[in-house]
Chains A and B, each alone.
Chain A
Amino acid sequence: MRLSDISRLSWDQVKRRKVVTALCAAGISIGCAAIIVAMSIGESAQLYIEKQMNSYLNMDEITVRANSGAFTDNSGSAADNEALQKGLLTRQKLDIMRQISQVSAAAPYRQLGHMQLSTLDHLTSQYSTELLGTDFDTLTAFGHSFLYGGPSDLAGTIVLNYGATLGLMDEETKQSLQEQMSGNYYDKAVIDQMNSYNRIPTALYQKQVRFLFYTPEGEAYSSPLRVVGVLRKPSGVSEDNLAYDKKGYVSLQTAEMLQKELKLGGEISGDFNSIIVKVDDQDHIEQVERQIQKLTVTTETNLHQKERLAGEFKILKAAALGIGVFILIIASISIVVAMTMSTYQRRRQIGIMKVLGANLSQIRNLFIVEAALLGLLGGLLGVLFSYWIVWGINGLIYRLADEQDSVIIFIPLATIPVGMAFALATGVFSGIYPAISASRTDALTAIRRD
């Protein structure tokens, strides 16, 4: 019997027996949709958390520090000094790191610490700003883009991130807020008022700012620095978090100048405190890390966080798949019942076919293909349902979530063939018993009219 004939005859039955088709397809579609939605939620949540972790933990970056023994120590022997020199972070090592093929950027950093940023008209924030010396040119390579201005080679200039421009207020407002807060730490109205103050940006581009540093001798102000650039706010970070994330970038030359001027303590082993290496793909992190370690420096990544997360999501996805499969098993029982009933109702038809020369396997194949078609139909409906369900969930999240950048559920393309395959397999397996039962129908009994 030709496959086209089997398919045509089976499809004809699927079309003809609308109630049985609807019941079976509905059962399978629910199972298929459950699998697709469950897997999609798992994938989406993993991606969202990975994205969030990336924005906080920078998973594609390697932090390189001087080797643990590489601090200035005048009491060491000549041999020790040589070992210490090997562990330093030097410009030469930075250049080597930049030449590694999987490295997309490497930025040297000189950390000057957290200080109070102040405008010349004494606007300050409640939170301190981290002052960093780096190569301005590397900022864009690390995913930053400029809202205003751009990098400048001139000494005495600064680039601020978006968070550093938020929440600047005069001393009087600051005092008033602090007074309101004192004793009312859980008052929502006061918290909301403070949050809204902290979200207000100040136009600092081309303005002069300075830093206040507290020394044992008292307060020390830096020389004014001209703001030559303001970075855009990064995606995936809430407004509240932006207000806490305040950074100011100066050139390495300016950093050295400020260090001397503000008499900042701390020793720098080599040319920089640290180097951040950005790798083109998270999969290359380990490989690049091994290469960097050959330069006798200490490296640090957050890769273990990703591995831990992947392990947890593996369990979550397996559980989701299990729920979907369980629903499909329940659905398959409905198919077995519906198909067996259908077999009984069609005994006469089966009998006629057998009298006309259909053999056991031909009858069996007709029923299995019919069940497979029900599975396919259920699978297609399931895909459609899963899109509706995901659309509904996203609508719900959008309404309920406070944050604009909350998790968005999407259906990864790979889950569709998985769902379809399960639906088809359910159809075929559920059709086996009714098919065997149909093929064993006694032709004579079936066509006899009493």
Chain B
Amino acid sequence: MLQVEELSHSFKNGNEITAVLHDISFRVHKGQMVALLGSSGSGKSTLLNLMAGLMKPTEGNIFIAGHSISAMNENKLAEFRRKHIGFIFQAYELLANLTVRENIELPLVFQSVQPSVRRKKALELLEKVGIPDKADLFPSQLSGGQQQRVSIARSLITEPSVIFADEPTGNLDTRTEEEILAILKTLNQTLHTTFIIVTHEREVAAQTEHILTLRDGSLVTDRQKVAEVLPSGGIAIETK
């Protein structure tokens, strides 16, 4: 499903080159829920952006659903993201001028899907994330937890191959955090959607099946959760 091969990335700042990621390789299978754990500056956000095609890696390859995203141009990447990738942001990133339902429908708007089809799917997803009565409200009328539920529903509407969640509970209180993680787990189990959750909180990572720990731009194994070490030194995560 998701395969990262010998990925390295560095930033150029004047004449100085700062290496952020070093030779990272791992494979995630369909339906897995994986946490990408690391402290601030460990390179986890850079890795997420590279996997989502928002940045080009300095070296290495990324394959999602069999497609190498490293070689794609901006328009191809946009089309690929539209079909295969879902996003959940820490700050929800809902468009304030659109209603909850319209926000959820937005990725399908870019795919020119019929309004009636979009509407039906959006309402179904609202049901799944537990806020069926909020369809016609605007984001500003919702609590943080409710907004994140909307963000989850929006990420699911295109039935993507993989969903990247960037600190999805970072702005929430403990009780809401638990609710959101419970929703993600349920959706992972019922829809078999692959989730990559980026977090710096070990408690959040502990809720997932597998943990990839990043330290100073390198991947370190978490022995309890890792099933296979690849010959290249990378880590493969198999379904239990």
Contact = CB atoms under 8 A, between A and B. Distances in A.
Nearest to A354: B78
A355 interface: yes
Interface in B78-126: 78-79, 81-83, 87, 89-91, 93, 95, 97-98, 106-107, 109-112, 115
B97 A357 contact: no
Contacts of B107: 356-357
B112 A1 contact: yes
Given A355-B52, A355-B54, A16 B97 contact: yes
A290 interface: no
Chain B CB count within 10 A is highest, among A356, A359, A360, A447, for: A356
A360 B93 contact: no
Nearest to A445: B54
Contacts of A449: 90-91
B40 interface: no
B74 interface: yes
Contacts of B79: 357, 359
B229 interface: no
A356 B87 contact: yes
Nearest to A442: B54
Contact of A5 (B52, B91, B109): B109
Contacts of A1: 109-110, 112
A356 B106 contact: yes
A150 B62 CA distance: 102
A372 B90 CA distance: 35
Contacts of B78: 354, 357-360
Nearest to A447: B93
Nearest to A13: B97
A3 to B, nearest CB: 10
B91 A360 contact: no
A359 B112 CA distance: 12
B232 interface: no
A175 interface: no
A13 B93 CA distance: 17
Given A1-B109, A444-B55, A357 B74 contact: no
Contacts of B98: 12
Contacts of B81: 355-357
Contacts of A349: 95
Contact of A360 (B74, B89, B158): B74
A446 to B, nearest CB: 10
B49 interface: yes
A343 to B, nearest CB: 16
Contacts of A352: 93, 95
Chain A CB count within 10 A is highest, among B82, B90, B95, for: B95
Interface string B51-84: 0101100000000000000000011001101110
A12 B115 CA distance: 17
Contact of B97 (A12, A356, A359): A12
A188 interface: no
A2 interface: yes
Contacts of B110: 1, 353, 356-359, 362
Contacts of A361: 75
Contacts of B82: 356-357
A295 to B, nearest CB: 72
Contacts of A348: 93
A2 B97 contact: no
A436 to B, nearest CB: 14
Interface in A2-23: 2, 4-5, 9, 12-13, 16
11 contacts: A1-B112, A352-B95, A353-B106, A356-B154, A357-B82, A357-B107, A359-B75, A359-B79, A359-B110, A447-B89, A449-B90
Given A2-B109, A355-B87, A359-B75, 11 more contacts: A1-B110, A5-B112, A352-B95, A354-B78, A356-B81, A356-B110, A357-B78, A359-B74, A360-B74, A444-B54, A449-B90
Interface of A: 1-2, 4-5, 9, 12-13, 16, 348-349, 352-362, 443-444, 447, 449
